[in-house]
Structure 1
Amino acid sequence: MLYSVIVVMSAMLGLVFILRGPSFFFYVAIILLLIYLLVHAKHFRVNGMIAVLVFSLYAGFAWIAESSNTTHLKAGEQQIEGHIHSLVKIDGDAIALKVKSVHGEILQLHGFIESEQQQAQLKQLLPGDRCIFTATLSPPSSPTNFYQFNYKQYLYQQQIHWVLTPELQKLNCVRSEKSLFYRLQTFRAHQIKRIEELVHPDASGIIIALVFGERMYVEQDVLEAYQRLGIIHLLAVSGLHVGLIIAAMYGLFIRIGLTRERTLESLCLFLPLYIIIAGAAPSVIRASLMTLIVMVFLRFKWNIPPLFAIAIVFLVYLALNPYALFQLGFQLSFLVSFSLLVSAEVINKRYSSWLAKLVAVTILAQLVSLPLLLNHFYQFSLLTLLVNILYIPFISFIVLPLSFLGVLMQNVIPIELNLPIQLVTVLIPPVHHGLVQLDAIELFNLITGKPHSIPFILYFLVTLIGLLVGESGKDRWWIVPLVGYAMVAGVQWTVPIWTKEAIVTMLDVGQGDSFVIELPRRGEVYVIDTGGTIRFNQGEEWRLRQSNYDVGREVVLSYLKAKGIRRIDKLILTHGHMDHIGGAIALVGEVAIDQLLYSAGEVEGEFEKLLLRELQHKGTEIIFVKKGNRWTSYGSQFAVLSPQGHEQGLNDRSIVLYADIEGVSFLFTGDLEEEGERRLLNTYPDLSVDVLKIAHHGSKTSTTDNFLLQLQPSFGLISAGRNNRFNHPHIEVTERLDEQHVKIIRTDKHGAIQLYVKNGSMKMHATEYKKAE
């Protein structure tokens, strides 16, 4: 184990040094490795030389990977010839797949389907088909919001540099001679399509996920429940899956008369093929290669320590694909497997019953994976342990075998007589319904926020100490990690209390508005508007998508969770247009909302009525506000300047909020138009502000010369979508702002922006998107 730890840590440090550069975590890891070497000081010189050599070797692998990760293509419209390189994923009127050009470069295709006939034609495409695409190549965007998933980096780590947007009506594809890889992918695609068409949607998704490693067919609410309840790993092809398959095949081959040696050789040939069929995710590769190494050693009757096998797979995997080190699936797969192997002997000695062993293994897996999960998902469920104990045996020993048997039988007998598939169809719907209901219980869902550097490291140290105490054989060992986690969580949760500045964040919600205001020491949190996805041409059934993008969930809620914001003191929805209130429904039941401030006037829209009913049902106090409403909190003053309550149009009914935050004045204007601006100037002739939220996304019907001349803002915040169909912000508006020497900050060019405000001064923090400009 000594050499395994030294080699593995040194390899990771060598990769990180080249691929990410020195950082806080890098230096902490260096210190931990040195401490480990000093603990074993008897062999310090030899161990140190091994560490340096491995570090240098893997730094070399990383350098080679970076040097070769280049593109020879250029942006713009062009014709691309290549092969379909992945499963064709069609969801309503959206299509996504990977293309391998004739020059060997991988491209990510995203397209919009224009007709039902076109959708039917695209469903016939298969991996390996040779196509000519008339398309536009564009580089992937950097994250435009804080804590956002970095899609550009994700593609880069797969050596993908371009997003291909095709003119699908001009697509020309033909069948071609296929390699073994494409034949296996075609087989996989045919089997998935057959299950999708013949099996009820309630059961087909989980069968496809368990057998073929593809989750996109699982219903969105069910998938989210699996994720939040901490059992998403059950939908990944793992070591247990591979073990069950190999054990079944081993028994079958022996029974039909193959010798032990021929059986092991056959399985060794089968496993690489299975990796492709099952989707080649990190967990599949790790489990299959470990099994392959074990079978090779069994074939030649060599003894192999389990830790040696996993270390070999880990090192070979990273040598071939250094970027895998930064993938969550890879990290979880190897971290949990390593921990279970190290602790297996202790668990087997201490616990005799299978239930006790299951509980122990589940607790261990949850402990070691928790820091990584919190770092990516910002929350965990108190029901996770219980749900894992119940669902691991159900999925692994009932649903998984039935799914495999059902898939093997589907090409032989009619679906009506396929008993395993029929059993899954009966068992899964009530189980998934129960999961969704459990996930909806707000009491058990705990938002922690994204751990800062120190708490993140402390979580791992607490886990390590807890495991060492557990292996020592002491009674009630679980108290140590439990208390440790509580203390670290306390540190994490108190970080905002020490933040003396107020933080005003303009989120990038596309063509919409959303602002988050955190008063000093997070005394109170206000959210002004929530954006909203306006959908066009969604009336036809074939266009409906299973996984719709929702800006409220993906941007606003995600940001709040990453910040550890569990309560909104005031949700201020300026008016009833979808691009301002559409995302609010995603917040209901996810974070507590004390008050809703809504503009005075008649509530007419069906969505408005639904939203207000849902908020009221959750206990939110609903206040219809107009000119004259004001309040003070933590030294900041807020006043509603409009509406007066008799405006006809929704835009001029917008809540106009004046805020003096830490000595800096803001004016949030919703979609106020020229008439509303004129009325505001007449009512408040001495009004001036430091920061103006430009009304109506920069429409030319707002932000008049007179309005700017009186307010004299230093900064203008514009929230507008990139390449939006309304051409916001209008050039006349930006010219007026320039003439008045107003510094323009706009989401379509700069992404989200944070303004840190303290004692009359203001500092701006930008996303990676702005930094890349």
Structure 2
Amino acid sequence: MKGKWHFIAGIGFILSFFSTRGSTWPGMMIVLGMLLIMWRSARTLRLFLLICFGAVIVFTGLAKFHSQPVPPDGFGKPQAASVTGKIVSAPSISPDQISFVFRHASSHVQSMVFMTSDGTSAKMIRRGAMCQIKGSLEIPETARNPGNFDYRNYLYHKGIHYVMFAEVQNAECSGQSVLAYMDQLRLSFLRYLKQKYPDDTLNWIRALIFGSDDDLSADTIHTFREWNLSHLLAISGLHTGLVMMFVYAAGRYLFRLTEQQLKIVLMIALLVFLGLSGGKPSVLRAVIMAESALLLSILKKTYPVTDIISMTAITLMFLNPFIVNDIGFQFSFIVTYALVFSKKLLIKHSSFLWPSIQISFISQIVLIPLQLYYFFYIHPLSFFLNILIVPYFTFFVIPASLFLVIFAWLPVKMTNAIAGMFEGIHNGVIQFIHLVDSWHDGVWVIGQISEYTFICYLVLFFSFMHLWEQERLREAFFCGCLLVCLLVLESMKPYFTAAGSITMLDVGQGDTIVIELPKREGVIMIDAAGTDTEGENDTFTYRIKPFLWSKGISQIDHFIITHTDQDHAGSADEILDNFDVKHVYSHPFLNSNNVQESLSSNHTYHPLSQGMKLQLGTHELYVLHPEQNVRYDSENNRSLVLYGQFGGLSFLFTGDIDAQVEEEIIQRFPSLQADVLKISHHGSKYSTSERFLEKMVPDIAWISAGIHNRYGHPAPEVLDRLSKQGTHIFRTDRDGAVIFCFTEQNGTFSKMIP
């Protein structure tokens, strides 16, 4: 790889990455080790090393300057506040809400502000405006389950520490920056396009030209993400290159501009495109690179491509060290570096097809560690779909979208006719993608990979590319096999782990418990809560599924539904549709509601009743309730009650039974005791009687309840009874997910929120 500036870019990335996480020393040690190795190399210029040392100092100082400590949890509940500061991002405007980043005048602390909007007063909310805002200030929500999206961490890595909720009437703003005029131009242009094109066409124009995929269907975005096609929905160098091609062709053949004039026009057009696209990191990277190349061409200077890319990265990190945490920044630069590294390989063939296949292949495999780190899965067949769909977007969809924007001045009848032809072709291709997705669900769930696997993968990848470039195909093939083996070993890691775990997930006002036996002898799921509103099941999508996938779980051996209320079985259909479920269990009294019909019609369904036992590898679960031939007055009292021993402790899972059923269990099993008691019905006052607690004598109580739920769970009476017993209480509304990690005779408890 020619050039040397990628060393400084690497130093900047490492230092910014660690410093924005509050730990400078690990990054410093890595960088100093790199510099010592470089110093011993005769090929490395001493002057350049001095520059590198200077970069260490500059980037460390910058990252520390921008970084602020994470606000402590003791900040407490939302507080009324009046804050003065400056709007530092382009406002995101929807019909009823405005959001923007707000920098406090008294410090470098920033807040993400969400304002309700009446559509008229919002006109004063512009980038660069100085404002005084009255509202509710609070710490962002953190991840409440392993593998779930951590909104607090996400904002902090963007330099944002608080969220603020306010009404637009409670904001007084004045002034604006130069960039605000570009924001207004962007909004005006979008309103103009809305008058010219139908919604389906406009949604794709907004995604591919203006950088906003909010209006694309959730199903389309999900399918593109699952098949590793989501990079097509993010504006990148491809889009920038096509814009340059359009401007160059128009300037050269329509306006007869000279080469020098064309370069200046291109530089201006790229800045306009950057503003219209919303300034996303991937676009910023492409525009800065293109502007640099054009400027060097005007000045008749030449630099290696790697140096131009590296200087672009350095510029972005210098302006904002937090940008290294942006997924778009990471994906964009790692693919760019990989393709530049493979330049000799790509130019060996004069045909178009083979280099296209190579580019798709290289882009796919270099992103695998990032894909696993963020999303926990890969799609092995996505490479083949990319070969078909990437050229289609490159040579039809993106150029067509640009064409529609450029010729929006045509009469509405003509724009609608052109849009109709576009939709006729494009909708057919999108339906084809969905059809392929329905035919083959070949997602390979590996789980979140370790840092060691990440580093090993990248070392093997670049070794593979180097060997391939040198045409040492046998060694390259062997290196490629090692890459696959590394991923296989990572996915097999749970089968060699001697510890198991029981996790009570925080699913709001509901129950979901996942038991992972040691050495992956089995995965048992007790209940799967669902969202109690119509529409997408957020509880499954954002809480249950990410947790299971982060653990590398794609197969559930035993799925137990204690009873079929929404707060215990609302995600049952999604579990059965998205996971390989071997056996499904519930009580024997199923009748007619959707969940019950789905369970009873499933070919793996088994009804359970008192006296039965489930053999789970070397562990057992005993069914204590309900009785087979007794009719119960409510679905709650039909709940399965299960008893088992894990890590030397006895666990009792009680569903939603009330005090009457608790008394029946005491009568049937007079010697029953439980070290860990899953409190019934989320801590309702009608359950967990004093007599029941006296008989169970639990050391630990688990309560699954939603934050500020409308039922007041857990009830003060229940908490008081547990306190009198001296029972230690874990509750999801306060602690997030609760985890018990165990071996054969020992175990430890932990909670997601300290």
TM-score between both structures, scaled by the size of structure 2:
0.91
Which whole-Å CA distance do the structure 1 matches of 2:461 and 2:30 have between them?
16
Higher mean C-alpha displacement, 717-726 vs 412-421: 412-421
Q: Cα RMSD over matched residues? A: 3.1
Q: Is the 8 A contact 1:378 1:564 kept in 2?
A: yes
The 3 A distance-change label for structure 1 pair 473 and 29 is farther
In the TM superposition, what is the alpha-carbon distance from 1:119 to its structure 2 partner? 7.8
- Pick from 604, 618, 622: which aligns with 2:592? 604
Query: Is 1:762 the counterpart of 2:747 in the alignment?
Result: yes
Which whole-Å CA distance do the structure 1 matches of 2:567 and 2:193 have between them?
38
The amino acid that maps onto 1:253 is G
In the TM superposition, what is the alpha-carbon distance from 1:147 to its structure 2 partner? 2.0
Structure 1 match to 2:561: 573
In the TM superposition, what is the alpha-carbon distance from 1:246 to its structure 2 partner? 1.2
Structure 2 match to 1:159: 159
Q: Map 1:184-203 onto structure 2 (within 5 A).
A: 184-193=182-191, 195=193, 199-203=197-201
- Pick from 698, 701, 704: which aligns with 2:689? 704
Q: Is the 8 A contact 2:17 2:322 kept in 1?
A: no
In the TM superposition, what is the alpha-carbon distance from 1:55 to its structure 2 partner? 1.8
The 3 A distance-change label for structure 1 pair 475 and 421 is same
Q: Is the 8 A contact 2:680 2:688 kept in 1?
A: yes
The amino acid that maps onto 1:107 is S
Structure 1 match to 2:623: 640
Query: Is 1:342 the counterpart of 2:341 in the alignment?
Result: yes
In the TM superposition, what is the alpha-carbon distance from 1:161 to its structure 2 partner? 2.2
In the TM superposition, what is the alpha-carbon distance from 1:713 to its structure 2 partner? 0.7
Which whole-Å CA distance do the structure 2 matches of 1:716 and 1:68 have between them?
34
Which whole-Å CA distance do the structure 1 matches of 2:695 and 2:435 have between them?
54
The 3 A distance-change label for structure 1 pair 674 and 334 is same
In the TM superposition, what is the alpha-carbon distance from 1:368 to its structure 2 partner? 1.2
Q: Which runs of 5+ in 2 are unaligned?
A: none
In the TM superposition, what is the alpha-carbon distance from 1:425 to its structure 2 partner? 1.5
In the TM superposition, what is the alpha-carbon distance from 1:133 to its structure 2 partner? 5.9
The amino acid that maps onto 2:34 is L
Structure 1 match to 2:459: 461
Which whole-Å CA distance do the structure 2 matches of 1:34 and 1:491 have between them?
33
The amino acid that maps onto 1:745 is F
Higher mean C-alpha displacement, 402-411 vs 561-570: 402-411
Structure 2 match to 1:695: 680
- Pick from 385, 410, 413: which aligns with 2:383? 385
Which whole-Å CA distance do the structure 2 matches of 1:742 and 1:704 have between them?
14
The 3 A distance-change label for structure 1 pair 626 and 124 is farther
Which whole-Å CA distance do the structure 2 matches of 1:290 and 1:80 have between them?
38
Which whole-Å CA distance do the structure 2 matches of 1:90 and 1:483 have between them?
49
Cα offsets for 1:221-268 (capped at 9, x unmatched): 110111110111111111111011012112212331433323322332
Q: Secondary structure at the match of 2:80?
A: strand
Query: Is 1:550 the counterpart of 2:541 in the alignment?
Result: no
Query: Is 1:719 the counterpart of 2:704 in the alignment?
Result: yes
Which whole-Å CA distance do the structure 2 matches of 1:611 and 1:493 have between them?
30
The 3 A distance-change label for structure 1 pair 707 and 373 is same
Q: Secondary structure at the match of 1:410?
A: coil
Q: Secondary structure at the match of 2:4?
A: helix
Q: How many aligned residue pairs are there?
A: 743
The 3 A distance-change label for structure 1 pair 410 and 69 is farther
Structure 1 match to 2:100: 98
The amino acid that maps onto 1:278 is S
Cα offsets for 1:706-739 (capped at 9, x unmatched): 1111001111111111111111111111111111
The amino acid that maps onto 2:334 is L
Structure 1 match to 2:392: 394
Higher mean C-alpha displacement, 123-132 vs 651-660: 123-132
In the TM superposition, what is the alpha-carbon distance from 1:484 to its structure 2 partner? 1.4
Which whole-Å CA distance do the structure 1 matches of 2:700 and 2:71 have between them?
40
Structure 2 match to 1:541: none
The 3 A distance-change label for structure 1 pair 346 and 131 is same
Query: Is 1:303 the counterpart of 2:298 in the alignment?
Result: no
The 3 A distance-change label for structure 1 pair 59 and 30 is closer
Structure 2 match to 1:496: 494
Which whole-Å CA distance do the structure 2 matches of 1:120 and 1:603 have between them?
50
In the TM superposition, what is the alpha-carbon distance from 1:324 to its structure 2 partner? 1.1
Structure 1 match to 2:269: 270
The 3 A distance-change label for structure 1 pair 475 and 84 is closer
Cα offsets for 1:284-323 (capped at 9, x unmatched): 0000100000111112222232111101101111111111
In the TM superposition, what is the alpha-carbon distance from 1:40 to its structure 2 partner? 3.3
Q: Secondary structure at the match of 1:163?
A: strand
Structure 2 match to 1:589: 577
Q: Secondary structure at the match of 2:671?
A: coil
Query: Is 1:675 the counterpart of 2:645 in the alignment?
Result: no
The 3 A distance-change label for structure 1 pair 513 and 311 is same
Q: Map 1:119-198 onto structure 2 (within 5 A).
A: 127=126, 135-166=135-166, 168=167, 171=169, 178-193=176-191, 195=193
In the TM superposition, what is the alpha-carbon distance from 1:157 to its structure 2 partner? 2.8
Higher mean C-alpha displacement, 100-109 vs 599-608: 100-109
Query: Is 1:743 the counterpart of 2:728 in the alignment?
Result: yes
Which whole-Å CA distance do the structure 2 matches of 1:269 and 1:68 have between them?
40
Query: Is 1:661 the counterpart of 2:646 in the alignment?
Result: yes
The 3 A distance-change label for structure 1 pair 764 and 478 is same
Cα offsets for 1:147-199 (capped at 9, x unmatched): 22221122123332222223x5x746799765432222223234445556764
- Pick from 426, 429, 433: which aligns with 1:428? 426
Which whole-Å CA distance do the structure 2 matches of 1:723 and 1:582 have between them?
20
In the TM superposition, what is the alpha-carbon distance from 1:577 to its structure 2 partner? 1.3
Cα offsets for 1:377-398 (capped at 9, x unmatched): 1111122111111111111110
Structure 2 match to 1:294: 293
Higher mean C-alpha displacement, 730-739 vs 576-585: 576-585
Q: Which runs of 5+ in 1 are unaligned?
A: 539-543
In the TM superposition, what is the alpha-carbon distance from 1:416 to its structure 2 partner? 5.0
Query: Is 1:77 the counterpart of 2:80 in the alignment?
Result: yes
In the TM superposition, what is the alpha-carbon distance from 1:33 to its structure 2 partner? 3.0
Query: Is 1:107 the counterpart of 2:105 in the alignment?
Result: no
In the TM superposition, what is the alpha-carbon distance from 1:674 to its structure 2 partner? 1.5
Which whole-Å CA distance do the structure 1 matches of 2:339 and 2:625 have between them?
61
Structure 1 match to 2:20: 19
In the TM superposition, what is the alpha-carbon distance from 1:639 to its structure 2 partner? 0.8
Which whole-Å CA distance do the structure 1 matches of 2:636 and 2:157 have between them?
45
In the TM superposition, what is the alpha-carbon distance from 1:399 to its structure 2 partner? 0.6
Q: Is the 8 A contact 1:16 1:22 kept in 2?
A: no
* Aligned-residue identity in percent: 26
Which whole-Å CA distance do the structure 1 matches of 2:182 and 2:555 have between them?
50
Q: Secondary structure at the match of 1:557?
A: helix
Which whole-Å CA distance do the structure 2 matches of 1:22 and 1:205 have between them?
42
In the TM superposition, what is the alpha-carbon distance from 1:487 to its structure 2 partner? 1.2
Q: Secondary structure at the match of 1:588?
A: helix
The 3 A distance-change label for structure 1 pair 193 and 526 is farther
The amino acid that maps onto 2:100 is K
Cα offsets for 1:49-105 (capped at 9, x unmatched): 44433222211221121259999x9951245677695454549xx846225478497
Which whole-Å CA distance do the structure 2 matches of 1:611 and 1:90 have between them?
41
Q: Is the 8 A contact 2:682 2:705 kept in 1?
A: yes
Structure 1 match to 2:520: 522
The amino acid that maps onto 1:741 is G
In the TM superposition, what is the alpha-carbon distance from 1:25 to its structure 2 partner? 8.2
Q: Is the 8 A contact 2:653 2:678 kept in 1?
A: yes
The 3 A distance-change label for structure 1 pair 193 and 706 is farther
Q: Secondary structure at the match of 1:160?
A: coil
The 3 A distance-change label for structure 1 pair 42 and 240 is closer
Q: Is the 8 A contact 1:378 1:449 kept in 2?
A: yes
Q: Secondary structure at the match of 1:587?
A: helix
Query: Is 1:626 the counterpart of 2:580 in the alignment?
Result: no
- Pick from 535, 546, 560: which aligns with 2:548? 560
The amino acid that maps onto 1:485 is L
The amino acid that maps onto 2:545 is L
Q: Is the 8 A contact 1:406 1:419 kept in 2?
A: no
The amino acid that maps onto 1:360 is Q
The amino acid that maps onto 1:448 is I
Higher mean C-alpha displacement, 139-148 vs 49-58: 49-58
Cα offsets for 1:371-420 (capped at 9, x unmatched): 11111111111221111111111111101111112123334421653454
The amino acid that maps onto 1:97 is S
